[in-house]
Amino acid sequence: MSDSTQAGRGLGSKTGLRTGRRRRITALAGVLAVVLAGAFAVISMRGSDGGIADGPLLSAPAGPDTLPGGRIIREPPRNCGVSHRTASRLVPGADRDAEKGNVFRRGGPGSCQWYSLDDGKATCDFCVGDFKNERVLNVEITLGKGRGDEAVGAAMGLFDMAEVTQGPSPPKTIEGLGEESFARYGADGETGGAIVKFRPGNAVVTVRYQGWDADGDRRETIPEKTAVDGALAAAAETARSLGAAADPVVTAVKHPGTPPLQRVPKPCDTVPAATVDRVARGAYRKRGNAFLLPTMGLTGASASSCTWEARTSRYLDEGRSRTLTVSLVVMRQRQAGMAVYAATRQHEAVHRKLRRGGSPGFDDFADLTPLTGPGDRAFAVTKSGPGSDDLVGIVLFQKRNVLVEVAYQGTDEGRPLPAKTLVDSAYTVAVAAERSLR
């Protein structure tokens, strides 16, 4: 065999090796192309039917607005509306000018104090020594701000029920004193006595009547009847001066026959997967935030949220996006009927703030629409902001002691969905969420 033949064979072997490599590379490229094509097909499918959905949706049913208008009070009355005769009876020898402040307290319109030591015989304030008694009457009036009904809603938010509901003894419900009223008595040391809190319209009034009587070397807090009757007498005069109901009567707790819900799942478990698929198919879940419901500062309540988010692009102004958020506030039962009552007034407070164009935060809300359901009472509203993805349809409803907020957002190529679609989507989810509450 010649050298040339040997060389030719060697060249042929190298050529065959290169050809095999090219075939394998071509085959791998083909497989990769198929994989990429399949992935693109999956992405395309998720972008159309697999990952984004728009129904079928229920149409949110509008109903009448049955919430009555609220009284608007512009300024507090002189000496908080308490007459000198009543003040002299409750706090003998007290100064006539109850709005006068001193080193221990602020004074002025809506901030009144009457003080008496030794039936007014001791001329110093907060003296140290041996005295036979002390009486203090405090009245504070705070006005909710805003336009019309918004001010009433603001006052409802200022009505901190913790002052009367959190104590060693259960609160007493008072009828005939403004729109809502409670009283509580405590014999805790020298500061013991009664507190009455009531709300006429957009005014929040807190009346405290406290005192002690000397019993040898001890100081005994004034009896419950003396303290409560005294506080109610002053409260009635304040209410009358504000043009509100002023015939206080201690009654049974509101809604005694309405028990709280026994089964309240976590927000992420309130909506069936099939319902989520109707509004945000292929979404991933994460912790959310409420738009209307306060999540902090609620006494005797727990709050939590869950968000489902579906996107076809990582860029905000491209592709399609759908975001669903469900938030729950659960009022806990400390006394019969109080949990349901607290949830009802919280729902009403938000309703009032929004009805006159007010806002619970810094966003703009519009198109408040009372609904015939779900739950015991419900309404829908839209929220708008500077960005295209800031248009939100919201449904807020109450079922016994639970408040549920359903919020829905959606964009197509950076353009927000119509407001009706957003509200109908939120309502569709709200109906499903209501069924999970038992």
Range of weakest confidence among 30-44, 45-59, 77-91: 30-44
Confidence (pTM): 0.78
Pick the CATH number of 267-435 from 3.30.420.40, 1.10.3210.10, 3.40.50.300, 3.40.1000.70: 3.40.1000.70
- Give me the chain's average pLDDT, please: 84
Close Cβ partners of 131 (under 8 Å, ≥ 6 residues apart):
117, 118, 122, 214
**CA–CA distances in Å: residue 191 to residues 213, 220, 228, 373:** 12, 10, 14, 47
| pLDDT of 293 strictly over 70 | yes
Domains of the chain, by residue range, sit at 78-243, 267-435
Over residues 167-173, the mean pLDDT reads 76
| pLDDT of 283 strictly over 50 | yes
| pLDDT of 429 strictly over 90 | yes
Q: How confident is the model at residue 12 (pLDDT cuts 50, 70, 90)?
A: very low
Over residues 192-205, the mean pLDDT reads 94
Instruction: Identify the pLDDT of residue 40.
Output: 33
Q: If DSSP states are collapsed to H, E and C, what string results for 79-140?
A: HHHCCHHHHHHHCCCCCCCCCCCECCECCECCEEEEEEECCCCCCCCCCCCCCCEEEEEEEE
The two beta strands, 364-371 and 415-416, are unpaired
Instruction: Identify the pLDDT of residue 78.
Output: 95
Beta bridge mates, 324: 308, 408
User: In this predicted model, what pLDDT tens digit does every residue of 323-376 receive, in sequence order?
Assistant: 999 999 999 877 777 889 889 988 998 998 888 665 555 568 999 999 999 999
211-220, Cβ contacts within 8 angstroms, sequence gap of 24 or more: 211/133, 211/134, 211/135, 211/136, 212/133, 212/134, 213/132, 213/133, 214/130, 214/131, 214/132, 214/133, 219/190
| pLDDT of 420 strictly over 90 | yes
Question: Which one, of 260, 271, 385, 401, lies nearest residue 326 by Cα?
Answer: 271
Question: Which one, of 154, 234, 157, lies nearest residue 194 by Cα?
Answer: 234
Instruction: Identify the pLDDT of residue 428.
Output: 98
**CA–CA distances in Å: residue 142 to residues 115, 198, 203, 266:** 21, 11, 6, 37
Instruction: Identify the pLDDT of residue 27.
Output: 44
Over residues 119-148, the mean pLDDT reads 87
| pLDDT of 209 strictly over 60 | yes
Over residues 111-125, the mean pLDDT reads 87
